[in-house]
Amino acid sequence: MKIAVLASEGAPYVKSGGLGDVMEALPSALARIEGNEVVLVLPYYNKIKYSPLYTVAELSTFHTTLGWRQLYTGVMELQGRTDGVRVIFLDNEYYFGGRDSTIYGHGDDSERYAYFSKAALDALAAIGFIPDIIQCNDWQTALVPVYLKSIYWASFPNTKCMYTIHNIEYQGWASGSFYGDVLGLPWDLRGTLDMGGSVNMMKGAIEMADLVTTVSETYSRELMYPYYAHGLDGVISSAAWKLTGITNGIDVNTFNPETDPALPAHYNADTFVSGKAACKAALQEEVGLPNRPDTPLMVMVTRLAGHKGLDLLCYIARTLLNEHDCQLIILGTGEEKFENFFRELAAEYPDRVAAQITFNLGLAARMYAGADIYLMPSKSEPCGLSQMNAMHYGTVPVVHATGGLRDTVPPADERGEGGLGFTFQSYNGEDFLYAVTRCLNLYHNDREGFRRLQHTDMCQDFSWNVPAGRYMELFRRMVSS
Ligand code: GLC
């Protein structure tokens, strides 16, 4: 099957969050399946263009029409990727070059990604790759199904389009005039993109795609409710017949405690007790905490954003520290109020808390490995990858049972049996505190039970093999319909 995957980010070239990880591993897993040809299309950001790591060959150049604009597009193919995925970068200096190193957050983001979505279709046609399936992701490529089923229908008569929602919070809003000025779409599609007089690109994608998926089963059900859908619950409910959830995997080759070059010691499910003890001691030293092998070490690697459940952690932090023997490390940047809260907490409990207000992938890996407990009380979580990374590194998760956290962390009982971690159902500080307390009690009172749970976590298959198979099932269904 010929599959084109379109996205605004993909590791290792460019990544701002979980989408980037998925765009590294999913195309690769699809390419491993016999009979597939996979092309991944990404913007040619400056960061990639001027990196000494990547060599490209120019396949084609042409002009992409966007409303009244004629825009240069260069189609650059990455050389030397060995897993069978063809990586195509779309070059346009005006939209993707000449800016600072941040990929999002520019005033013309709507226009940049409208351009990318349209230019990607031009590029596939120009290189003669007419896919059976286009899989596109989040608001940045939401216009792909809209263009595909209208202006590009004649070039791609048999191509089916899957639209995947990784996070419904960011929908690609633009003013009403954007429709005529930028998009250049036929007027009869105006209603498809319209929301209260403005343009909502994600709405257009949900309506026009052949199938819509989200990144976990629970999240696909949650999206029917206003609490989770950020205004799109009605649109989602009308599209319920074509909506499915496929829970992400993690890249078990990159995230592997036996080989991860970031770690000071390596281990597997049989050797984790000594391996993790060495990682823990090194981690405590690295962040300036005293080396206490028998004090449970809790960590959180996260964007410091409200929906990650930080308000709950702030609310319980002092009680937790005052009532229990434990240490806490936070890694991440984000909202100032949270950054300051954790800095102050670290100053107040210098032996117990370390606040690493920075972005550091190596330290993140050392935290997954060196910690005993991973906290993830997200208010909502489409899938979440770090709870799986943590479990894969033998660190027990404590999570809010929502979205992908609910699907990947079945609850264990007080003895650590029957599940993979500790969970709480209702989003409030007391219930979170109770879940953390149960986990700490297991650690303190029954270390063997805690280790059995760590071992069970490490033995789970979080690889992309299963989800890639589910994507293929849906692709086949789309092609034969
Ligand atoms: C988004 C979601 C996260 C998910 C990731 C990859 O970042 O917020 O839950 O794991 O996309 O699908």
| Ligand 1 within 6 A of CB of 429 | no
- Please name every residue paired with 39 in a beta bridge, in sequence order, or none if there are none: 4, 86
| Ligand 1 within 6 A of CB of 246 | no
Substitution candidate for ligand 1 out of 167, 220, 250, 462 with most atoms within 8 A of CB: 167
| Ligand 1 within 6 A of CB of 406 | no
Sign of CA dihedral 312, 313, 318, 319: positive
Q: Is 151 exposed, middle or buried (0-12, 13-18, 19+ CB in 10 A)?
A: middle
Q: What mean pLDDT, rounded, does the chain reach?
A: 97
Ligand 1 atom with the shortest distance to the CA of 17: 7
- What's the gap in Å between 444 CA and the centre of ligand 1? 33
| Ligand 1 within 6 A of CB of 18 | yes
Say how many C-beta atoms besides its own lie within 10 A of residue 243's C-beta. Answer: 21
Residue found by looking up tokens 């209260």 in the block: 196
Residue whose C-alpha is closest to residue 134's, from 100, 163, 161: 161
- What's the gap in Å between 385 CA and the centre of ligand 1? 7
| Ligand 1 within 6 A of CB of 399 | no
- What's the gap in Å between 384 CA and the centre of ligand 1? 5
**Can you give the pTM of this predicted structure?**
0.95
| Ligand 1 within 6 A of CB of 364 | no
Substitution candidate for ligand 1 out of 248, 255, 308 with most atoms within 8 A of CB: 248
- What's the gap in Å between 377 CA and the centre of ligand 1? 15
Which residues, 6 or more positions from 170, have their beta carbon under 8 angstroms from its beta carbon?
138, 139
Say how many C-beta atoms besides its own lie within 10 A of residue 340's C-beta. Answer: 13
- What's the gap in Å between 267 CA and the centre of ligand 1? 28
What is the token pair recorded at 452? 């059995």
SS3 313: helix
| Ligand 1 within 6 A of CB of 22 | yes
Residue nearest atom 12 in ligand 1 by C-alpha distance: 166
What is the token pair recorded at 351? 């032996």
Substitution candidate for ligand 1 out of 251, 383, 402 with most atoms within 8 A of CB: 383
- For every one of its 481 residues, what pLDDT tens digit does the chain have, with 9 covering 90 and above? 999 999 999 999 999 889 999 999 999 999 999 999 999 999 999 999 999 999 999 999 999 999 999 999 999 999 999 999 999 999 999 999 977 778 999 999 999 999 999 999 999 999 999 999 999 999 999 999 999 999 999 999 999 999 999 999 999 999 999 999 999 999 999 999 999 999 999 999 999 999 999 999 999 999 999 999 999 999 999 999 999 999 999 999 889 999 999 999 999 999 999 999 999 999 999 999 999 999 999 999 999 999 999 999 999 999 999 999 999 999 999 999 999 999 999 999 999 999 999 989 999 999 999 999 999 999 999 999 999 999 999 999 999 999 999 999 999 999 999 999 999 999 999 999 999 999 999 999 999 999 999 999 999 999 999 999 999 999 999 999 8
To which H or E segment does residue 61 belong?
Answer: strand 56-66
- What's the gap in Å between 303 CA and the centre of ligand 1? 12
